[in-house]
Chain A
Amino acid sequence: MRLPLVIAGVLAAVPAMAQDKPVLTVYTYDSFVSDWGPGPAVEKAFEEFCGCDLKLVAAGDGAALLSRMQLEGASTEADIVLGLDTNLTAAAAATGIFSDHGLAGVDYDLPVEWDDPMFAPYDWGYFAFVYDKTKLAEPPADFEALAASDVKILIEDPRSSTPGLGLLLWVKAAYGDRAAEIWSALADNIVTVTPGWSEAYGLFLEGEADMVLSYTTSPAYHLIAESDDTKAAAPFSEGHYMQIEVAAKVASTDESELADRFLAFMVSDDFQKVIPETNWMYPAVTPEGGLPGGFETLIAPERALLYPASEAERAREGALEEWLAALSR
């Protein structure tokens, strides 16, 4: 009779133990928590030593994440928000719900200086046009050459997609007052404008266009996961616009210490080594042992373009007007 009692006791204790653990809630974007994203490995690695339950909550994509923070405000359950990029951080800071990350002395491997006290980067990448080497022998070398050619491209809408917004700011950062002129010239190269990255990339793989707006790291997926070396990113001489993905701590968190530990973990090897082959981006701090084999084949842009967070918001308003006017004609 005793054994069942013991079993019952153990069973009763398990949920109790689980409840005793502190819970750290991290809001992030959908593809981070997906079974094919960094989420599962990150969760396992952190829970191994934190003595806590790491809860990853998906909220659409980066922009949806920001909307959700704006909706929830200070009453949010989130302790950490992970997955905003530098185009969104100004608006995120304006919500007033984040506190400084407190990380110091981190040696970031970013092409730009990083000194934001509130948002800490965990990965980054360059936007680029990806093409199939077997179908397009000589890709255009810059936007003007692209506009002059009859190469067909797929792009994402800046109003609904983060890469789309990246392209908008890329052209603006590279051409300034001439951006509208570049867009008018590009109009006949654009096959279509999709709502998101997945649609554009899917259409590209179906052969609907010669090039698609994606990342310089995209060919690494095909090379490493599919042993397919036909995809490449075209280097543009104007330089490439960057996306830096960041996380921040919610000021009202009741797990402040745990949140600090997570941010420290985020820039450590155990987190960073997961990034290249799940998020297919560059880790913010190159882990010991370097990048996975295959990443050395990727193009390395000579110039990194990026609006500081404070200017990005202002730049995008005008740039969107130009974009709409040029492509609606």
Chain B
Amino acid sequence: MARRAQPIAALSAAVVLALTLGTLAAVFARASGLPELGPADLAALRFTILQATLSAILSAALAVPVARALARRRFPGRGILITLLGAPFILPVIVAVLGLLAVFGRAGLFNRGLEFLGLPPVTIYGLQGVVLAHVFFNLPLATRLILQGWLSIPAERFRLAASLSMGPSEIARFLERPMLRSVLPGTVTAIFLICLTSFAVALTLGGGPRATTIELAIYQAFRFDFDLGRAAALASVQFVLCLLAVLLAGRAARETGFGAGLDRQVERWDAGSVWLKVQDAAALILVSIFLLLPLGALLEAGLPRLATLPAPVWESALRSLAVAVSSAVLILVLALPLALAAAGRRQAGLWEISAMLPLTASSLVTGTGLFILLRPFFAPGDVALPVTVLVNAAMALPFAYRSLLPPARDAETDFGRLAESLGMTGLARLRLVTLPRLRRPLGFALGLTAALSMGDLGVIALFAGEETATLPLQLYRLMGAYRMADAAGAAVLLLGLSLALFWVFDRGGRVNARA
């Protein structure tokens, strides 16, 4: 399988490289001379790495107890909770920030609570706010990635553990920690890279120019100085950081070696104690409050305006749905071959790096580069939607790849030799062996891509022609026209549609699977 996937994977990788390094090269080519990076850029680099590291470690650390609780408990509404917990990740930044501020802002619920108790208020603005917001965005992603790790431990291993009278601490030692060892490095890297390119969150909640990130410096180079060389040089720094992070994570990750299972329903004989139940309940309740309260605030603000939203908003919602579904279809072609090709090798180096590259691409550089590359051939307004579909799919590739890789690897190690010995290759093997084992992560990957694509402003603002506004762009336009209440309504519409898309795809991946 893996060998067959190589040529298609090479094609996917080529598309990704063109979109990331290719657009960067296009910007470089238009620049006049290479600038030197000064002390201000070094300060930006320091702050960028600091906030991204803190955000990544904290998100992953908090996600472990939540994923563990979700993995070993079954309760009514569990599926809906998992879907809802994913909501922050797919929201447009400014919407999520407004939701967070409704809870943690100067006039937010939290500070009103403190005031009621006679305590001094705490401020969200500063490094703490940047990290809080990044954890809010990325805790759901971390939880999902780690939860998939837990679900990949075959039921037979827990059965064996139970028959050997292993308690929770032995299970943690022999099953859970090895699994975390293989899942956590990738999770932390993914979130580190997401936070690396943060711009609006870092600036809005960072409280001022102290919170200048590389991405903001790129923005400044483009808009304030119109210095393409500077922008491209800063974007290259981001790519180098990406490369280092991916290589480090690759060294840190260890194979689990749990071997194959029969996909039986997992039963957890070890999790019956009251103390563990209380622990899991606490983790789930706390994370629900943290993630769902800001969403509740958004709903409260937006629901009353939903029915009276102006017609152009609904039109753009339809357009965004089409963009989202197209991106999801495209991600199949991009992510699956890459994951399968990487699964066949011990060192996935090149595939891994191509799959993670889009995370560090500055959207302004990608957009400008695409603009330079495409303009000789097309009117930018005419290709606005296809370009948006492509860029949105590429931006979702790292997540799709991350969730497909571990099960693809397991399918290869567990069933690869059997399939080889049966002479099963090509489409038959894909259909009978690989796809059934990838069904759940595929559903997740497609759903995530569709939802992300729905909410991402992407490059549409650079290309937008007549009649091509997507829902996120329309939301920003409403805000720009003072219509904050309508914008809140549009945000609820966006949230609802994104979650519905995610749920439909994710559900599709879980048909016949009771987990």
A residues adjacent to B (C-beta < 8 A): 30-31, 33-37, 55-60, 63-64, 66-67, 70-72, 77, 91, 152, 157-160, 187, 190-195, 197-199, 201-203, 205-209, 218, 221-222, 225, 278, 280, 320, 323-324, 327-328
Contact = CB atoms under 8 A, between A and B. Distances in A.
A72 B375 CA distance: 9
Interface stretch (B53-61, B171-179, B323-331, B481-489): B481-489
Contacts of B484: 201-202, 205
B379 interface: yes
Contacts of B465: 57-58
A160 B220 CA distance: 6
A201 B208 contact: no
B372 A198 contact: no
B220 A198 contact: no
A199 B202 CA distance: 13
Contacts of A72: 375
Contacts of B226: 66-67, 70, 91
B40 interface: yes
B477 interface: yes
16 contacts: A30-B464, A30-B476, A31-B480, A58-B465, A60-B461, A60-B462, A66-B226, A71-B30, A152-B106, A192-B204, A193-B207, A193-B209, A195-B216, A198-B479, A202-B479, A327-B209
Between B203, B210, B219, B476, the greatest number of chain A beta carbons within 10 A of the residue's beta carbon is seen for B203
A66 B224 CA distance: 10
A67 B231 CA distance: 13
Nearest to A325: B209
Contacts of A66: 226
A91 to B, nearest CB: 7
A316 to B, nearest CB: 8
Contacts of B332: none
A8 B222 CA distance: 50
A195 B477 contact: no
Given A35-B477, A198-B94, A199-B200, A159 B208 contact: no
Nearest to A321: B40
A192 B207 contact: yes
Contacts of A327: 208-210
B125 to A, nearest CB: 5
A55 B380 CA distance: 13
A194 B487 CA distance: 18
B482 A203 contact: no
Contact of A71 (B372, B466, B480): B372
Interface stretch (B96-104, B264-272, B355-363): B96-104
A70 B30 CA distance: 11
B318 to A, nearest CB: 15
A55 B94 contact: no
B223 interface: yes
Nearest to A29: B480
Contacts of A205: 484
Interface in B462-477: 462, 464-466, 469, 473, 476-477
B371 interface: yes
Contacts of B381: 57
Contacts of A280: 482
Nearest to A194: B204
Contacts of B223: 63-64, 67, 159-160
Given A37-B481, A57-B381, A157-B209, 7 more contacts: A34-B477, A157-B216, A159-B220, A160-B203, A195-B219, A207-B106, A320-B224
B148 interface: no
B40 A324 contact: yes
Nearest to A40: B312
A26 to B, nearest CB: 11
Nearest to A207: B107
B47 to A, nearest CB: 10
B216 A31 contact: no
A328 B310 contact: no
Contact of A34 (B40, B222, B481): B481
A67 B312 contact: no
A35 B310 contact: yes
A207 B267 CA distance: 50
Interface in B180-231: 199-200, 203-210, 216, 219-220, 222-224, 226
Contact count band on B = 35 or more
Contact of B312 (A35, A63, A225): A35
Contacts of B43: 328
B203 A36 contact: no
Nearest to B102: A206
Interface in B67-99: 94, 97-98
Q: Which 9 A-B pairs have the closest CB atoms?
A: A207-B107, A36-B481, A34-B477, A198-B479, A159-B220, A31-B480, A35-B312, A63-B223, A221-B482
Contact of B203 (A30, A193, A197): A193
Contact of A159 (B98, B216, B478): B216
A152 B105 CA distance: 13
Interface string B359-403: 000000000100110010001010000000000000000000000
Contacts of A55: 466
Contacts of A77: 379
A199 B94 contact: yes
Contact of B222 (A67, A206, A209, A323): A67
A36 B479 CA distance: 10
Contacts of B312: 35
A195 B202 CA distance: 10
A91 B223 CA distance: 12
Contact of A63 (B224, B379, B480): B224
Contacts of B480: 30-31, 34, 197-198
Given A157-B209, A160-B220, A323-B209, A203 B30 contact: no
B408 to A, nearest CB: 39
Given A30-B461, A34-B480, A191 B97 contact: no
Nearest to B30: A71
Nearest to A162: B223
Given A206-B98, A323-B209, A36 B478 contact: yes
B124 to A, nearest CB: 9
Contacts of A197: 480
Nearest to A31: B480
Interface in B11-48: 30, 40, 43
Interface string B424-463: 0000000000000000000000000000000000000110
Contacts of B224: 63, 158-160, 320
A53 B301 CA distance: 40
Contacts of B375: 72
Contact of B482 (A56, A60, A187, A218): A218
B97 A199 contact: yes
B88 to A, nearest CB: 17
A192 B205 contact: yes
Nearest to B461: A60
> Most B CB atoms within 10 A — which of A55, A57, A280?
A57
B130 to A, nearest CB: 11
Nearest to A210: B106
B295 to A, nearest CB: 15
B98 A202 contact: yes
Contact of A206 (B30, B105, B203, B207): B105
B466 A36 contact: no
